[in-house]
Structure 1
Amino acid sequence: MPILAVQMRRFFLAAATLAVALPHVAAAQTIDNVVTRPVGGDAEPLKKGRPAEGAQPSSGLGVLDRMGAKLPDLPPEKNYHGPVDDAYGAYQRGYYLTAMQLALPRAQLGDPSAQTLVAEMQYAGLGVRRDLKSSAFWYGKAAEGGDAAAMFKYALMLMAGEIVQRDKAKADDYMKKAADSGNSSAQFNWAQILTSDHPGQEGLKLALPYYEKSAEQGIADAQYAVAELYSTLPDLPEEKRRRTREWMARAARAGFDTAQVDLAVWLVNGQNGPRDFVRGFEWMQLAANRGNVVAQNKLAHLYIYALGTKPDPVEAAKWYVLSRRAGLPDPELEDFFLGIEDDQQKAGIDRANKFRRLP
Protein backbone atom coordinates (compact mmCIF):
# COMPACT_ATOMS: atom_id res chain seq x y z
CA MET A 1 0.00 0.00 0.00
CA PRO A 2 1.43 3.41 -0.89
CA ILE A 3 2.41 5.91 1.81
CA LEU A 4 0.03 8.76 0.89
CA ALA A 5 1.05 12.14 -0.38
CA VAL A 6 4.00 12.40 2.03
CA GLN A 7 5.75 9.53 0.31
CA MET A 8 4.67 10.43 -3.21
CA ARG A 9 6.15 13.92 -3.03
CA ARG A 10 9.65 12.66 -2.26
CA PHE A 11 10.45 12.05 -5.90
CA PHE A 12 11.33 15.74 -6.20
CA LEU A 13 14.36 15.18 -3.99
CA ALA A 14 15.31 12.18 -6.06
CA ALA A 15 14.91 14.11 -9.27
CA ALA A 16 17.40 16.68 -8.05
CA THR A 17 19.83 13.91 -7.15
CA LEU A 18 19.44 12.13 -10.45
CA ALA A 19 19.71 15.06 -12.88
CA VAL A 20 21.17 13.76 -16.15
CA ALA A 21 22.00 14.94 -19.65
CA LEU A 22 18.47 14.68 -21.00
CA PRO A 23 17.98 17.55 -23.45
CA HIS A 24 15.73 20.22 -21.91
CA VAL A 25 14.48 17.81 -19.23
CA ALA A 26 17.37 17.35 -16.83
CA ALA A 27 18.28 21.02 -17.09
CA ALA A 28 14.70 22.10 -16.53
CA GLN A 29 15.64 25.23 -14.61
CA THR A 30 18.35 26.45 -16.99
CA ILE A 31 17.84 29.27 -19.47
CA ASP A 32 19.92 27.89 -22.33
CA ASN A 33 16.89 27.05 -24.45
CA VAL A 34 15.35 30.52 -24.26
CA VAL A 35 17.34 32.98 -26.37
CA THR A 36 16.73 36.68 -25.79
CA ARG A 37 19.09 38.22 -28.33
CA PRO A 38 18.32 38.54 -32.05
CA VAL A 39 19.51 35.57 -34.06
CA GLY A 40 18.96 34.55 -37.67
CA GLY A 41 16.51 36.03 -40.11
CA ASP A 42 14.09 33.11 -39.79
CA ALA A 43 13.98 33.13 -35.98
CA GLU A 44 10.71 32.77 -34.12
CA PRO A 45 9.20 35.83 -32.38
CA LEU A 46 10.38 35.11 -28.84
CA LYS A 47 13.82 34.00 -29.97
CA LYS A 48 14.18 37.06 -32.10
CA GLY A 49 12.72 39.58 -29.69
CA ARG A 50 10.31 41.05 -32.21
CA PRO A 51 6.71 40.37 -33.27
CA ALA A 52 5.91 37.79 -35.93
CA GLU A 53 5.16 38.96 -39.41
CA GLY A 54 1.60 40.20 -39.58
CA ALA A 55 1.13 40.24 -35.80
CA GLN A 56 -1.05 43.06 -34.51
CA PRO A 57 -1.13 44.61 -31.03
CA SER A 58 -3.68 42.98 -28.76
CA SER A 59 -6.65 44.96 -27.52
CA GLY A 60 -6.11 43.53 -24.05
CA LEU A 61 -7.16 40.34 -22.32
CA GLY A 62 -8.90 38.96 -19.31
CA VAL A 63 -6.73 36.36 -17.63
CA LEU A 64 -9.51 35.16 -15.35
CA ASP A 65 -11.87 34.86 -18.29
CA ARG A 66 -9.39 32.75 -20.23
CA MET A 67 -7.80 30.70 -17.45
CA GLY A 68 -10.39 30.71 -14.68
CA ALA A 69 -13.12 28.70 -16.37
CA LYS A 70 -14.94 26.26 -14.10
CA LEU A 71 -13.38 22.83 -14.12
CA PRO A 72 -15.59 19.77 -14.71
CA ASP A 73 -16.87 18.05 -11.60
CA LEU A 74 -14.81 15.23 -10.21
CA PRO A 75 -16.18 11.75 -10.88
CA PRO A 76 -17.98 10.23 -7.90
CA GLU A 77 -15.84 8.14 -5.58
CA LYS A 78 -16.22 4.41 -5.95
CA ASN A 79 -17.25 2.38 -2.96
CA TYR A 80 -14.36 0.40 -1.51
CA HIS A 81 -15.07 -3.22 -0.58
CA GLY A 82 -11.51 -4.44 0.07
CA PRO A 83 -9.87 -5.13 3.41
CA VAL A 84 -9.53 -2.18 5.77
CA ASP A 85 -6.05 -1.48 7.17
CA ASP A 86 -6.59 -0.01 10.62
CA ALA A 87 -2.93 1.01 10.98
CA TYR A 88 -3.01 3.06 7.79
CA GLY A 89 -6.39 4.46 8.73
CA ALA A 90 -4.96 5.77 12.00
CA TYR A 91 -1.94 7.15 10.12
CA GLN A 92 -4.18 8.99 7.66
CA ARG A 93 -6.14 10.59 10.51
CA GLY A 94 -2.93 11.67 12.28
CA TYR A 95 -3.15 9.16 15.13
CA TYR A 96 0.48 8.20 14.84
CA LEU A 97 0.90 6.46 18.18
CA THR A 98 -2.10 4.28 17.44
CA ALA A 99 -0.78 3.60 13.95
CA MET A 100 2.58 2.51 15.37
CA GLN A 101 0.95 0.29 17.97
CA LEU A 102 -1.11 -1.42 15.27
CA ALA A 103 1.64 -1.64 12.64
CA LEU A 104 4.68 -2.71 14.67
CA PRO A 105 3.44 -6.20 15.65
CA ARG A 106 2.53 -6.88 12.03
CA ALA A 107 5.89 -5.54 10.86
CA GLN A 108 7.70 -7.87 13.26
CA LEU A 109 5.74 -10.78 11.76
CA GLY A 110 6.94 -9.85 8.26
CA ASP A 111 4.06 -7.79 6.79
CA PRO A 112 5.74 -5.57 4.11
CA SER A 113 2.96 -2.97 4.19
CA ALA A 114 3.21 -2.58 7.96
CA GLN A 115 7.02 -2.50 7.74
CA THR A 116 6.78 0.40 5.29
CA LEU A 117 4.43 2.28 7.58
CA VAL A 118 6.73 1.81 10.59
CA ALA A 119 9.70 2.95 8.46
CA GLU A 120 7.87 6.07 7.31
CA MET A 121 6.86 7.12 10.80
CA GLN A 122 10.38 6.54 12.15
CA TYR A 123 11.92 8.40 9.21
CA ALA A 124 9.68 11.43 9.73
CA GLY A 125 9.51 11.22 13.53
CA LEU A 126 5.72 10.91 13.55
CA GLY A 127 4.53 9.84 16.99
CA VAL A 128 7.97 8.45 17.83
CA ARG A 129 11.52 9.74 18.08
CA ARG A 130 13.11 10.11 14.66
CA ASP A 131 15.42 7.16 14.00
CA LEU A 132 16.93 7.04 10.52
CA LYS A 133 18.87 3.81 11.01
CA SER A 134 15.85 1.93 12.30
CA SER A 135 13.78 3.45 9.50
CA ALA A 136 16.29 2.19 6.93
CA PHE A 137 16.15 -1.29 8.50
CA TRP A 138 12.37 -1.46 8.10
CA TYR A 139 12.45 0.03 4.60
CA GLY A 140 14.97 -2.66 3.69
CA LYS A 141 12.78 -5.42 5.10
CA ALA A 142 9.71 -4.08 3.30
CA ALA A 143 11.68 -3.76 0.07
CA GLU A 144 12.73 -7.39 0.38
CA GLY A 145 9.05 -8.22 0.77
CA GLY A 146 8.17 -6.42 -2.47
CA ASP A 147 6.44 -3.26 -1.23
CA ALA A 148 6.78 -0.75 -4.09
CA ALA A 149 6.88 2.39 -1.92
CA ALA A 150 9.57 0.83 0.28
CA MET A 151 11.63 -0.29 -2.71
CA PHE A 152 11.57 3.27 -4.03
CA LYS A 153 12.57 4.86 -0.72
CA TYR A 154 15.23 2.25 0.05
CA ALA A 155 16.68 2.68 -3.44
CA LEU A 156 17.12 6.39 -2.72
CA MET A 157 18.92 5.54 0.52
CA LEU A 158 21.20 3.11 -1.29
CA MET A 159 22.02 5.78 -3.87
CA ALA A 160 22.78 8.45 -1.29
CA GLY A 161 24.92 6.18 0.88
CA GLU A 162 24.34 8.29 4.00
CA ILE A 163 22.10 6.12 6.16
CA VAL A 164 23.06 2.80 4.59
CA GLN A 165 26.13 1.79 2.60
CA ARG A 166 26.00 3.01 -0.99
CA ASP A 167 25.17 0.24 -3.47
CA LYS A 168 24.25 1.43 -6.98
CA ALA A 169 23.55 -2.04 -8.36
CA LYS A 170 21.11 -2.86 -5.57
CA ALA A 171 19.58 0.61 -5.76
CA ASP A 172 18.99 0.25 -9.50
CA ASP A 173 17.45 -3.18 -8.97
CA TYR A 174 14.98 -1.89 -6.39
CA MET A 175 14.20 1.26 -8.39
CA LYS A 176 13.36 -0.79 -11.49
CA LYS A 177 11.23 -3.23 -9.48
CA ALA A 178 9.36 -0.34 -7.88
CA ALA A 179 8.85 1.27 -11.28
CA ASP A 180 7.60 -1.98 -12.80
CA SER A 181 5.26 -2.36 -9.82
CA GLY A 182 3.61 0.94 -10.76
CA ASN A 183 5.17 3.44 -8.34
CA SER A 184 5.00 6.73 -10.26
CA SER A 185 7.95 8.34 -8.49
CA ALA A 186 10.10 5.28 -9.15
CA GLN A 187 9.04 5.31 -12.80
CA PHE A 188 10.27 8.89 -13.20
CA ASN A 189 13.54 8.17 -11.39
CA TRP A 190 14.18 4.94 -13.28
CA ALA A 191 13.72 6.88 -16.52
CA GLN A 192 16.30 9.38 -15.30
CA ILE A 193 18.71 6.55 -14.48
CA LEU A 194 18.26 5.05 -17.94
CA THR A 195 19.11 8.34 -19.63
CA SER A 196 22.19 8.66 -17.42
CA ASP A 197 23.43 5.10 -17.99
CA HIS A 198 22.67 5.15 -21.73
CA PRO A 199 23.64 8.57 -23.16
CA GLY A 200 22.02 9.76 -26.35
CA GLN A 201 18.86 8.66 -28.11
CA GLU A 202 19.20 5.06 -26.95
CA GLY A 203 18.70 6.09 -23.33
CA LEU A 204 15.89 8.49 -24.19
CA LYS A 205 13.99 5.79 -26.04
CA LEU A 206 14.49 3.32 -23.19
CA ALA A 207 13.31 5.93 -20.70
CA LEU A 208 10.27 7.17 -22.61
CA PRO A 209 7.87 4.34 -21.60
CA TYR A 210 8.65 4.97 -17.92
CA TYR A 211 8.22 8.73 -18.32
CA GLU A 212 4.88 8.05 -20.01
CA LYS A 213 3.67 5.77 -17.20
CA SER A 214 4.70 8.30 -14.57
CA ALA A 215 3.10 11.14 -16.53
CA GLU A 216 -0.18 9.27 -16.78
CA GLN A 217 -0.21 9.09 -12.98
CA GLY A 218 0.13 12.86 -12.70
CA ILE A 219 3.84 13.47 -12.05
CA ALA A 220 4.43 16.95 -13.51
CA ASP A 221 8.18 16.42 -14.09
CA ALA A 222 7.37 13.32 -16.13
CA GLN A 223 4.68 15.15 -18.10
CA TYR A 224 7.25 17.81 -18.97
CA ALA A 225 9.76 15.13 -19.99
CA VAL A 226 7.20 13.42 -22.22
CA ALA A 227 6.34 16.72 -23.92
CA GLU A 228 10.00 17.49 -24.59
CA LEU A 229 10.73 14.01 -25.91
CA TYR A 230 7.62 13.95 -28.09
CA SER A 231 8.81 17.28 -29.49
CA THR A 232 12.39 16.20 -30.22
CA LEU A 233 12.67 12.42 -30.67
CA PRO A 234 12.55 11.27 -34.30
CA ASP A 235 10.44 8.39 -35.64
CA LEU A 236 7.66 8.69 -33.07
CA PRO A 237 4.12 7.64 -34.04
CA GLU A 238 2.04 10.56 -35.24
CA GLU A 239 -0.59 10.02 -32.51
CA LYS A 240 2.10 10.68 -29.91
CA ARG A 241 3.43 13.70 -31.76
CA ARG A 242 -0.06 15.21 -31.74
CA ARG A 243 -0.16 15.03 -27.93
CA THR A 244 3.06 17.01 -27.44
CA ARG A 245 1.45 20.29 -26.47
CA GLU A 246 -1.19 18.51 -24.39
CA TRP A 247 1.50 17.02 -22.14
CA MET A 248 3.25 20.36 -21.77
CA ALA A 249 -0.07 21.96 -20.84
CA ARG A 250 -0.73 19.29 -18.21
CA ALA A 251 2.65 19.95 -16.61
CA ALA A 252 1.98 23.70 -16.76
CA ARG A 253 -1.44 23.33 -15.14
CA ALA A 254 0.20 21.28 -12.37
CA GLY A 255 2.27 24.35 -11.50
CA PHE A 256 5.61 23.36 -13.05
CA ASP A 257 6.94 26.82 -13.89
CA THR A 258 9.43 25.67 -16.53
CA ALA A 259 6.58 23.96 -18.37
CA GLN A 260 4.59 27.19 -18.15
CA VAL A 261 7.44 29.09 -19.77
CA ASP A 262 7.97 26.52 -22.52
CA LEU A 263 4.24 26.29 -23.22
CA ALA A 264 4.09 30.08 -23.51
CA VAL A 265 6.99 30.05 -25.96
CA TRP A 266 5.34 27.29 -28.00
CA LEU A 267 2.06 29.24 -28.14
CA VAL A 268 3.73 32.49 -29.19
CA ASN A 269 6.00 30.82 -31.73
CA GLY A 270 3.41 28.37 -33.08
CA GLN A 271 5.52 25.36 -32.10
CA ASN A 272 3.82 21.96 -31.79
CA GLY A 273 0.50 23.60 -32.58
CA PRO A 274 -1.12 26.84 -33.76
CA ARG A 275 -0.05 30.28 -32.57
CA ASP A 276 -2.03 31.88 -29.77
CA PHE A 277 -0.45 35.13 -28.56
CA VAL A 278 -3.02 35.77 -25.85
CA ARG A 279 -2.72 32.36 -24.19
CA GLY A 280 1.05 32.53 -24.58
CA PHE A 281 1.08 35.86 -22.77
CA GLU A 282 -1.14 34.48 -19.99
CA TRP A 283 1.12 31.54 -19.27
CA MET A 284 4.24 33.72 -19.40
CA GLN A 285 2.66 36.21 -17.03
CA LEU A 286 1.71 33.45 -14.60
CA ALA A 287 5.23 32.04 -14.51
CA ALA A 288 6.73 35.51 -14.18
CA ASN A 289 4.49 36.39 -11.24
CA ARG A 290 5.60 33.19 -9.55
CA GLY A 291 9.23 34.25 -9.82
CA ASN A 292 10.55 32.46 -12.91
CA VAL A 293 13.39 34.68 -14.15
CA VAL A 294 13.23 33.51 -17.77
CA ALA A 295 9.49 34.25 -17.84
CA GLN A 296 10.12 37.73 -16.45
CA ASN A 297 12.64 38.39 -19.21
CA LYS A 298 10.31 37.06 -21.91
CA LEU A 299 7.34 38.96 -20.54
CA ALA A 300 9.24 42.21 -21.05
CA HIS A 301 9.58 41.35 -24.75
CA LEU A 302 5.86 40.58 -25.00
CA TYR A 303 4.96 43.96 -23.48
CA ILE A 304 7.34 45.79 -25.81
CA TYR A 305 5.96 44.20 -28.97
CA ALA A 306 2.31 43.91 -27.83
CA LEU A 307 2.15 40.15 -28.30
CA GLY A 308 -0.97 38.96 -26.50
CA THR A 309 -1.34 42.23 -24.60
CA LYS A 310 -1.38 45.99 -25.03
CA PRO A 311 2.04 47.66 -25.36
CA ASP A 312 3.25 48.88 -21.98
CA PRO A 313 6.81 50.24 -21.68
CA VAL A 314 6.56 50.65 -17.90
CA GLU A 315 5.56 47.01 -17.37
CA ALA A 316 8.28 45.96 -19.81
CA ALA A 317 10.80 47.96 -17.78
CA LYS A 318 9.57 46.41 -14.54
CA TRP A 319 10.02 42.85 -15.75
CA TYR A 320 13.39 43.61 -17.29
CA VAL A 321 14.62 45.15 -14.03
CA LEU A 322 13.46 42.08 -12.08
CA SER A 323 15.15 39.62 -14.43
CA ARG A 324 18.36 41.68 -14.55
CA ARG A 325 18.50 41.82 -10.76
CA ALA A 326 18.14 38.03 -10.70
CA GLY A 327 21.23 37.67 -12.89
CA LEU A 328 19.80 37.40 -16.41
CA PRO A 329 21.33 40.14 -18.59
CA ASP A 330 19.81 41.04 -21.93
CA PRO A 331 21.56 43.67 -24.09
CA GLU A 332 18.47 44.19 -26.25
CA LEU A 333 16.26 44.92 -23.24
CA GLU A 334 18.99 47.14 -21.81
CA ASP A 335 18.91 49.17 -25.04
CA PHE A 336 15.12 49.41 -24.73
CA PHE A 337 15.33 50.48 -21.09
CA LEU A 338 17.86 53.22 -21.80
CA GLY A 339 15.73 54.45 -24.69
CA ILE A 340 12.50 55.12 -22.78
CA GLU A 341 11.68 58.32 -20.88
CA ASP A 342 13.20 58.93 -17.45
CA ASP A 343 9.79 58.90 -15.76
CA GLN A 344 9.03 55.55 -17.38
CA GLN A 345 12.32 54.14 -16.12
CA LYS A 346 11.57 55.36 -12.61
CA ALA A 347 8.03 53.96 -12.74
CA GLY A 348 9.34 50.59 -13.91
CA ILE A 349 11.92 50.48 -11.11
CA ASP A 350 9.26 51.45 -8.58
CA ARG A 351 6.98 48.63 -9.74
CA ALA A 352 9.89 46.19 -9.59
CA ASN A 353 10.62 47.30 -6.01
CA LYS A 354 7.00 46.61 -5.04
CA PHE A 355 6.84 43.21 -6.77
CA ARG A 356 5.95 40.25 -4.57
CA ARG A 357 5.97 36.84 -6.16
CA LEU A 358 2.79 34.78 -6.07
CA PRO A 359 2.83 31.44 -4.20
Structure 2
Amino acid sequence: MAEAYPELAEIYLCGYGGTADEKRSFEMLRKGQEAGDALSAFRLGCMYSDGIGVERDEKEAVRMFRIAAYKGIPEAQFKMGVVAQENPSESDLPAQEWYRRAAEAGMPAAMVNLATMLYEGKGTGRDLEKAFSLYSEAAELGDGDAMFMAGRMMFEGIGTERNPGKGMELFVRAAAAGNRMAEEFVSEIRRRQNTQIIRIDGADYDIRKNA
Protein backbone atom coordinates (compact mmCIF):
# COMPACT_ATOMS: atom_id res chain seq x y z
CA MET A 1 0.00 0.00 0.00
CA ALA A 2 1.13 3.56 -0.77
CA GLU A 3 0.85 4.55 2.91
CA ALA A 4 3.71 2.18 3.76
CA TYR A 5 6.31 4.11 1.77
CA PRO A 6 6.89 6.88 4.35
CA GLU A 7 7.60 4.26 7.02
CA LEU A 8 10.04 2.45 4.72
CA ALA A 9 11.67 5.78 3.88
CA GLU A 10 12.17 6.55 7.58
CA ILE A 11 13.77 3.16 8.16
CA TYR A 12 16.31 3.83 5.40
CA LEU A 13 16.87 7.43 6.46
CA CYS A 14 17.54 6.60 10.09
CA GLY A 15 19.35 3.35 9.39
CA TYR A 16 17.17 1.20 11.62
CA GLY A 17 18.67 -2.30 11.61
CA GLY A 18 21.48 -1.26 9.27
CA THR A 19 23.26 1.64 7.60
CA ALA A 20 21.41 4.85 6.82
CA ASP A 21 20.76 5.35 3.12
CA GLU A 22 19.39 8.78 2.19
CA LYS A 23 19.09 8.00 -1.51
CA ARG A 24 17.11 4.84 -0.85
CA SER A 25 14.90 6.80 1.52
CA PHE A 26 14.30 9.37 -1.21
CA GLU A 27 13.38 6.62 -3.67
CA MET A 28 10.82 5.17 -1.26
CA LEU A 29 9.15 8.57 -0.94
CA ARG A 30 9.23 9.10 -4.69
CA LYS A 31 7.43 5.80 -5.19
CA GLY A 32 4.93 6.70 -2.48
CA GLN A 33 4.21 10.06 -4.07
CA GLU A 34 3.76 8.48 -7.49
CA ALA A 35 1.31 6.05 -5.90
CA GLY A 36 -0.70 8.99 -4.59
CA ASP A 37 0.40 9.12 -0.94
CA ALA A 38 0.14 12.67 0.45
CA LEU A 39 2.61 12.22 3.31
CA SER A 40 5.20 10.90 0.88
CA ALA A 41 4.77 14.04 -1.23
CA PHE A 42 5.30 16.29 1.80
CA ARG A 43 8.40 14.48 3.00
CA LEU A 44 9.73 14.38 -0.55
CA GLY A 45 9.34 18.15 -0.61
CA CYS A 46 11.35 18.39 2.60
CA MET A 47 14.15 16.30 1.09
CA TYR A 48 14.24 18.46 -2.03
CA SER A 49 14.25 21.59 0.15
CA ASP A 50 17.06 20.36 2.40
CA GLY A 51 19.05 18.51 -0.25
CA ILE A 52 18.79 15.15 1.53
CA GLY A 53 19.20 12.12 -0.73
CA VAL A 54 18.89 14.35 -3.78
CA GLU A 55 20.28 17.63 -5.12
CA ARG A 56 18.59 20.64 -3.52
CA ASP A 57 15.73 21.89 -5.71
CA GLU A 58 13.40 24.53 -4.28
CA LYS A 59 11.05 24.52 -7.26
CA GLU A 60 10.50 20.79 -6.99
CA ALA A 61 10.12 21.16 -3.22
CA VAL A 62 7.33 23.68 -3.71
CA ARG A 63 5.67 21.41 -6.28
CA MET A 64 5.65 18.54 -3.79
CA PHE A 65 4.41 20.77 -0.95
CA ARG A 66 1.58 21.98 -3.19
CA ILE A 67 0.53 18.41 -4.01
CA ALA A 68 0.56 17.44 -0.32
CA ALA A 69 -1.21 20.65 0.71
CA TYR A 70 -4.12 20.05 -1.62
CA LYS A 71 -4.38 16.53 -0.22
CA GLY A 72 -4.82 17.92 3.27
CA ILE A 73 -1.41 17.67 4.96
CA PRO A 74 -1.37 20.61 7.47
CA GLU A 75 2.43 20.89 7.49
CA ALA A 76 2.41 21.20 3.71
CA GLN A 77 -0.35 23.82 3.87
CA PHE A 78 1.80 25.76 6.33
CA LYS A 79 4.80 25.50 4.00
CA MET A 80 2.68 26.81 1.13
CA GLY A 81 1.58 29.69 3.33
CA VAL A 82 5.21 30.64 3.83
CA VAL A 83 5.86 30.28 0.09
CA ALA A 84 2.86 32.48 -0.71
CA GLN A 85 4.10 35.18 1.69
CA GLU A 86 7.65 35.19 0.37
CA ASN A 87 6.94 34.54 -3.32
CA PRO A 88 3.24 35.11 -4.11
CA SER A 89 3.70 34.15 -7.77
CA GLU A 90 4.62 30.58 -6.77
CA SER A 91 1.28 29.92 -5.07
CA ASP A 92 -2.16 29.78 -6.63
CA LEU A 93 -3.76 30.60 -3.27
CA PRO A 94 -2.98 33.52 -0.93
CA ALA A 95 -1.00 32.90 2.23
CA GLN A 96 -3.92 33.48 4.58
CA GLU A 97 -5.94 30.74 2.87
CA TRP A 98 -3.17 28.18 3.32
CA TYR A 99 -2.68 29.21 6.94
CA ARG A 100 -6.44 29.05 7.52
CA ARG A 101 -6.57 25.46 6.28
CA ALA A 102 -3.63 24.41 8.45
CA ALA A 103 -5.04 26.30 11.44
CA GLU A 104 -8.39 24.57 11.10
CA ALA A 105 -6.50 21.29 11.22
CA GLY A 106 -5.13 22.34 14.63
CA MET A 107 -1.61 23.53 13.76
CA PRO A 108 -0.49 26.22 16.28
CA ALA A 109 2.18 27.75 14.03
CA ALA A 110 -0.41 28.33 11.30
CA MET A 111 -2.76 29.94 13.83
CA VAL A 112 0.03 32.31 14.86
CA ASN A 113 0.94 33.26 11.30
CA LEU A 114 -2.69 33.82 10.32
CA ALA A 115 -3.30 35.80 13.51
CA THR A 116 -0.28 37.98 12.75
CA MET A 117 -1.57 38.70 9.25
CA LEU A 118 -4.94 39.68 10.72
CA TYR A 119 -3.26 41.75 13.44
CA GLU A 120 -1.12 43.64 10.94
CA GLY A 121 -3.70 43.71 8.14
CA LYS A 122 -1.23 42.22 5.66
CA GLY A 123 -2.81 40.39 2.73
CA THR A 124 -6.21 40.64 4.37
CA GLY A 125 -8.40 43.10 6.23
CA ARG A 126 -7.32 43.89 9.79
CA ASP A 127 -9.36 41.92 12.33
CA LEU A 128 -8.03 42.31 15.87
CA GLU A 129 -10.74 40.23 17.54
CA LYS A 130 -10.10 37.27 15.23
CA ALA A 131 -6.36 37.71 15.71
CA PHE A 132 -6.79 37.57 19.48
CA SER A 133 -8.97 34.47 19.18
CA LEU A 134 -6.35 32.66 17.10
CA TYR A 135 -3.47 33.69 19.36
CA SER A 136 -5.46 32.49 22.38
CA GLU A 137 -6.23 29.15 20.75
CA ALA A 138 -2.57 28.60 19.83
CA ALA A 139 -1.53 29.66 23.34
CA GLU A 140 -3.76 26.98 24.83
CA LEU A 141 -1.91 24.48 22.61
CA GLY A 142 1.39 25.58 24.16
CA ASP A 143 2.80 27.99 21.57
CA GLY A 144 5.07 30.51 23.33
CA ASP A 145 4.81 33.20 20.63
CA ALA A 146 1.02 32.98 20.80
CA MET A 147 1.14 33.30 24.60
CA PHE A 148 3.16 36.49 24.29
CA MET A 149 0.87 38.08 21.69
CA ALA A 150 -2.34 37.06 23.46
CA GLY A 151 -0.83 38.43 26.68
CA ARG A 152 0.12 41.69 25.02
CA MET A 153 -3.35 42.13 23.57
CA MET A 154 -4.98 41.45 26.95
CA PHE A 155 -2.48 43.68 28.74
CA GLU A 156 -3.20 46.60 26.41
CA GLY A 157 -6.85 45.85 25.61
CA ILE A 158 -6.33 45.26 21.89
CA GLY A 159 -9.01 43.15 20.24
CA THR A 160 -10.33 42.14 23.64
CA GLU A 161 -11.24 43.59 27.01
CA ARG A 162 -8.23 44.96 28.87
CA ASN A 163 -7.05 42.62 31.63
CA PRO A 164 -3.46 43.36 32.77
CA GLY A 165 -3.44 40.55 35.33
CA LYS A 166 -4.36 37.88 32.79
CA GLY A 167 -2.00 39.46 30.32
CA MET A 168 0.84 39.23 32.81
CA GLU A 169 0.00 35.60 33.47
CA LEU A 170 0.41 34.89 29.76
CA PHE A 171 3.70 36.83 29.65
CA VAL A 172 5.06 34.63 32.42
CA ARG A 173 3.89 31.47 30.66
CA ALA A 174 5.43 32.69 27.41
CA ALA A 175 8.73 33.40 29.16
CA ALA A 176 8.70 29.90 30.67
CA ALA A 177 8.08 28.54 27.15
CA GLY A 178 11.20 30.34 25.90
CA ASN A 179 9.75 33.43 24.20
CA ARG A 180 12.58 35.97 24.34
CA MET A 181 10.39 39.09 24.24
CA ALA A 182 8.35 37.78 27.15
CA GLU A 183 11.52 36.94 29.08
CA GLU A 184 12.82 40.48 28.58
CA PHE A 185 9.47 42.02 29.53
CA VAL A 186 9.13 40.02 32.75
CA SER A 187 12.79 40.59 33.65
CA GLU A 188 12.43 44.34 33.16
CA ILE A 189 9.39 44.49 35.41
CA ARG A 190 11.22 42.45 38.04
CA ARG A 191 14.21 44.79 37.80
CA ARG A 192 12.11 47.92 38.13
CA GLN A 193 10.10 46.66 41.06
CA ASN A 194 12.90 44.52 42.55
CA THR A 195 10.39 41.89 43.61
CA GLN A 196 8.61 38.76 42.46
CA ILE A 197 5.34 40.55 43.27
CA ILE A 198 4.25 42.83 40.44
CA ARG A 199 1.74 45.64 41.01
CA ILE A 200 -0.61 46.21 38.08
CA ASP A 201 -3.44 48.71 38.26
CA GLY A 202 -3.23 48.75 42.05
CA ALA A 203 -3.36 44.96 42.45
CA ASP A 204 -0.50 42.68 43.49
CA TYR A 205 0.34 39.79 41.18
CA ASP A 206 2.73 36.99 42.21
CA ILE A 207 4.54 35.92 39.04
CA ARG A 208 6.11 32.93 40.82
CA LYS A 209 2.74 31.15 40.70
CA ASN A 210 2.97 30.91 36.92
CA ALA A 211 6.70 30.56 36.37
Task: Report the equivalent of 1:264.
Answer: 115
Aligned: 1:307 with 2:158: yes
Structure 1 counterpart SS, 2:203 = helix
Q: Are the structure 2 counterparts of residues 234 and 263 from structure 1 closer, same or farther at C-alpha, using a change threshold of 3 Å?
A: closer
Equivalent position amino acid for 1:187 in 2: A
Inter-partner Cα distance in structure 1 for 2:11 and 2:188: 51
Task: Report the equivalent of 2:76.
Answer: 222
Inter-partner Cα distance in structure 1 for 2:89 and 2:73: 25
Aligned match of 1:280 in 110, 115, 131? 131
Shift of 1:219: 1.0
Shift of 1:184: 0.8
Shift of 1:234: 5.4
Bigger helix fraction: 2
**Native 8 Å contact 2:175 2:186 kept in 1:** no
Structure 2 counterpart SS, 1:163 = coil
RMSD: 2.4
Shift of 1:335: 4.2
Shift of 1:327: 3.0
Inter-partner Cα distance in structure 2 for 1:271 and 1:148: 39
Larger radius of gyration: 1
Task: Report the equivalent of 2:171.
Answer: 320
Inter-partner Cα distance in structure 2 for 1:228 and 1:190: 17
Task: Report the equivalent of 2:205.
Answer: 346
Inter-partner Cα distance in structure 2 for 1:310 and 1:178: 50
Q: Deviations over 1:303-335 (max 9, x none)?
A: 122221011110111011111223334334544
Listed as ranges, the matches of 1:1-359 within 5 Å are 147-197=1-51, 203-233=57-87, 235-236=89-90, 240=92, 242-330=93-181, 331-332=184-185, 334-335=187-188, 341=199, 344-346=203-205, 350=209, 352=210
Equivalent position amino acid for 1:275 in 2: R
Residues paired across the two proteins, number: 200
Inter-partner Cα distance in structure 1 for 2:165 and 2:143: 19
**Native 8 Å contact 2:152 2:167 kept in 1:** yes
Q: Are the structure 2 counterparts of residues 247 and 334 from structure 1 closer, same or farther at C-alpha, using a change threshold of 3 Å?
A: same
Q: Are the structure 2 counterparts of residues 300 and 333 from structure 1 closer, same or farther at C-alpha, using a change threshold of 3 Å?
A: farther
Shift of 1:299: 1.4
**Native 8 Å contact 1:158 1:171 kept in 2:** yes
**Native 8 Å contact 1:261 1:287 kept in 2:** yes
Q: Are the structure 2 counterparts of residues 279 and 348 from structure 1 closer, same or farther at C-alpha, using a change threshold of 3 Å?
A: farther
Inter-partner Cα distance in structure 2 for 1:334 and 1:282: 27
Q: Are the structure 2 counterparts of residues 334 and 167 from structure 1 closer, same or farther at C-alpha, using a change threshold of 3 Å?
A: closer
Shift of 1:230: 1.0
Shift of 1:348: 6.0
Structure 2 residue runs without a partner (length 5+): none
Equivalent position amino acid for 2:39 in 1: S
Q: Are the structure 2 counterparts of residues 348 and 267 from structure 1 closer, same or farther at C-alpha, using a change threshold of 3 Å?
A: farther
Shift of 1:255: 0.8
Q: Deviations over 1:255-291 (max 9, x none)?
A: 1111111111111011221110000000001111222
**Native 8 Å contact 1:316 1:348 kept in 2:** no
Shift of 1:203: 2.8
Structure 2 counterpart SS, 1:346 = strand
Q: Are the structure 2 counterparts of residues 236 and 216 from structure 1 closer, same or farther at C-alpha, using a change threshold of 3 Å?
A: closer
Equivalent position amino acid for 1:319 in 2: L
Inter-partner Cα distance in structure 1 for 2:43 and 2:94: 23
Higher RCO (CA-CA < 8 Å; seq separation 6+): 1
Q: Percent identity?
A: 22
Shift of 1:232: 0.7
